[in-house]
Amino acid sequence: MSPIDPYDDPTDADSIDGEVVLIGPGTIAASMTPKAAAETARRLRHAARKACGQAAPSTPESDDG
C-alpha cells in the first residue's frame, strides 16, 4: 500500500512558452521540456499498463455479527 492515497482525477497538461506544464490534482505541479514530457508520458503509460495488471489490494470485510 502506498503511503498516500492515490488521486482518482487526472493531471491537467498544457503547453506554455515552449514548456509542458502539469497541474493538479492536489499539490501536483511541474514544468518540463518537451523531451522530458514525452519520456514521462512513455513511463506513465508503461506504469499504468503494469498497474492495470496487478490485483487491487484487498480490504478486510467487516463482521457485524
Cβ burial, residue 2 (10 Å; 0-12/13-18/19+): exposed
* pLDDT of amino acid 34: 98
User: Look-up: residue for cell 463482521?
Assistant: 63
pLDDT of residue 1: 58
Q: Please, what is the average pLDDT of the chain?
A: 88
Confidence of residue 38 (pLDDT cuts 50, 70, 90): very high
Global confidence as pTM: 0.73
